[in-house]
Amino acid sequence: MVKNLIFDFDGTLADTTRGIILCTQATLKEMGLSVASDERIQATIGLPLRLCFERGTDTPEERLDEAVVTYRRLFNDIAIPRTVLFDGVPQTLQVLHARGLRLAIATSRSGASLQMLLSVLGIREYFCEFAAADDVKHPKPAPDLALLLMERLGARPEETIVIGDTVFDLGMGQQAGCRVCGVSFGNQTRAELAAVRPDWIIDRFPELVEITKG
């Protein structure tokens, strides 16, 4: 029986892609570095911010910390106004919450950033636990975030589904012993998600209502 749902945030609950790409490119411009393509940046969404700059741009190693600081300074003005919930997210969360399921979030962004966005988007009330990149030593796809949330919830893996839009999310859930559900409307394609053999892939967020009935 499903009792717990652990959600990724970026690309799963909220469409943050355009804001992240533009904020990353603005950071690179301000630092006088070559601007990475949309596609290269998008491929790293879901990883911790420093790792996104390391893998998704040509930022020199010695300037990665500077890039993170600059990005966070620009984020409120560039990314937040472009962040919206995917279709059906508030209504579906309300249904799942009313059914008594415990909802949690495991994110690669900072805890402060997550809480701010949840408040802006008006969905914080549906979640009982949160785990962010600054809460664990090993980022996704390591299982640390999911394991931390299950410990806090007193949850068992067989009663928990992890939902995310990248193989990093699905790998985290699988390594934690949970069933996993990919969403095809985020930052990675259905084919990329299918390659790691998730238990489900959905094309619309409200499909979670049926999946979680069992």
Task: State whether residue 202 is helix, strand or coil.
Answer: strand
Evaluate if residue 9 carries a pLDDT over 70: yes
The arithmetic mean of pLDDT across residues 118-146, rounded, is 97
4-15+83-211 carries CATH number 3.40.50.1000? yes
Can you give the residue ranges of every domain in the chain? 4-15+83-211, 17-82
Digit-coded pLDDT (tens) for 88-100: 999 999 999 999 9
Task: Please state, in angstroms and rounded to a whole number, the distance separating the CA atoms of residues 83 and 9.
Answer: 11
Average pLDDT, the chain: 97
Q: Quote the Cα angle for 191-195-39, to 5°.
A: 50
Helices 49-56 and 64-78 cross at an angle (nearest 10°) of 110
Is 77 considered catalytic here? Answer: no
Residue 46's pLDDT is 87
pLDDT band of residue 131 (cuts 50, 70, 90) is: very high
Task: Please state, in angstroms and rounded to a whole number, the distance separating the CA atoms of residues 97 and 80.
Answer: 26
The arithmetic mean of pLDDT across residues 128-138, rounded, is 96
Evaluate if residue 213 carries a pLDDT over 90: no
Topology at the third CATH level for domain 17-82 = DNA polymerase; domain 1 (1.10.150)
Q: Extract the tokens encoding 75.
A: 């984020």
Residue 214's pLDDT is 64
Q: How many CB atoms lie within 10 A of CB 40?
A: 14
Is 15 considered catalytic here? Answer: no
Beta carbons of 189 and 210 less than 8 angstroms apart: no
The arithmetic mean of pLDDT across residues 171-179, rounded, is 98
Evaluate if residue 169 carries a pLDDT over 90: yes
Residue of 10, 15, 144, 169 marked catalytic: 10
Evaluate if residue 108 carries a pLDDT over 80: yes
Beta bridge partners of 104: 6, 129
DSSP state of 116: H
User: Which range (45-49, 130-134, 171-175) has the least confidence?
Assistant: 45-49
- Edge-to-edge strands of the sheet including 160-164? 129-131, 102-106, 4-7, 160-164, 179-183, 200-202
